[in-house]
Structure 1
Amino acid sequence: MDKLIHVSTKEDIFPEYRETPVGLLLEYHNLHRSFDSYSKAQLLIGMCMDNRKHLRIPDNFAYILRSGGGNLRYSEFKISYAIAIGGVKAIALLGHNNCGMANLYSKKEKFIEGLVETAGWNKEFAEEHFMNFAPMYEIGNEIDFLLSEAVRLRSRYPKILVVPLFYQIEDNDFYLIKE
């Protein structure tokens, strides 16, 4: 965790992110900056679907895509739309600690049992479902995944600022990641 930098003052924001939509995101969320008014989105936030995360941002400030683990591999058309039509010039990738998509295979039996008991599936179908989709959604280590996803998106959208951020569930704050 020595790669994580807590943002508790404006000076903690890396210079290359200050005065950008990502810098504003950090100011709104961590530093409780007063909300400005927006008529169009300034950035795209890709984040986990986890229910423990709440963003402190103004209305109309960002497009938000939520998916397991913040995995945007299967959301590229939506990303392209936010850039091409929405005009965003920055993407914040927001991962968090204790993510359910990290080490997904360790949850296999609980996943299957949950579908059988809660959804009424038969065990074989639930197991097949897990085995077909888990490889697509497994992220491994949260920070390593964020860094690799940032590299992937930067190569796909070279003019777009792509910044991986880490969300600590315990303190509800964003952290910068030393790359």
Structure 2
Amino acid sequence: MHKIIKVSHREDILKKYSNTPIEKLLLSHNIGLMDENFTSAELLIGMCMDNRNQLRIPNNFAYIIRSGGGNLRYSEFKVSYAIAVGGVKAIALIGHNNCGMVNLMSQKDKFVNGLVENAGWDIKRAEEHFMNFAPMFEIDDEIGFLCSEAARLRVKYPKILIAPLIYNVDDNLIYIVEEE
């Protein structure tokens, strides 16, 4: 089981994140302790597109890629760009509780009907669209996905610090996921 660590004070941050952009992210968002000015990004944040996730970070501090579930599998060129050209040395993977990408197949009817009603699609096209893409984006559970995605990215980018984090939509804080 993965341990979830609430960050209310600097001392709550794991040592491996001390003096890194991950620490700066947690101090800024959770505690409001960063007033530095940045001229270039130090961090890449991969996070869910959910509108309930709003970060409190300084301008120019991070590149941000938002996608369903925080899934970066289909954004690897952008990740590589942030590392190679942008010079970032750390990636924060931020999932959140109550994510719509968990058990996505259960939302098929709502998804299809929404495309028909809101976008003017015919039902057959909407169903095909869902069935072609839902398996690519569905996740089993938020924490498990974050940890597996972090492990996958560590293999691809071995010199980059990668931190799985979870945004709690109930208190709007970012928690550390301590991997097994």
TM-score if structure 1 supplies the norm length?
0.98
Q: Give the structure 1 partner of residue 33 of structure 2.
A: 33
Deviations 1:29-48 (A, max 9, x none): 01110310110000100001
Q: How does 1:48-67 map to 2 (within 5 A)?
A: 48-67=48-67
- Percent same amino acid at aligned positions? 65
Matched, 1:117 2:112: no
Match of 2:94 in 1: 94
Q: Distance in 2 between matches of 1:21 and 1:138?
A: 29
Residue type of the partner of 2:13?
I
**What residue is the counterpart of 2:175 in the other structure?**
175
* Shift >6 Å, 4+ stretches: none
Aligned to 2:44: 44
Query: Tell me, what secondary structure is at the counterpart of 2:55?
Result: coil
Distance 1:137 1:26 in 2: 27
| SS of match in other structure, 2:82 | helix
Q: CA offsets per residue over residues 30-68 of structure 1, 9 Å max, x none?
A: 111031011000010000111111101001000000011
CA-based RMSD: 1.0
Unpaired segments ≥5 residues, structure 1? none
What SS class does the counterpart of residue 130 from structure 1 fall into? helix
Q: What's the TM-score, normalizing by structure 2? A: 0.97
Q: Residue 2 of structure 1: CA displacement?
A: 6.6
Alignment check: 8 A CA contact 2:24 2:34 kept? no
Distance (Å, rounded) in 1 between the aligned partners of 2:117 and 2:61: 41
The aligned amino acid for 1:166 is I
Structure 2 residues without counterparts, runs of 5 or longer: none
The code of the aligned residue for 1:145 comes to F
Matches of 1:80 and 1:121, distance apart in 2: 35
Q: How does 1:133-172 map to 2 (within 5 A)?
A: 133-172=133-172
How many residue pairs match? The answer is: 179
| 1:14 corresponds to | 14
Structure-1 separation of matches of 2:117 and 2:108:
14
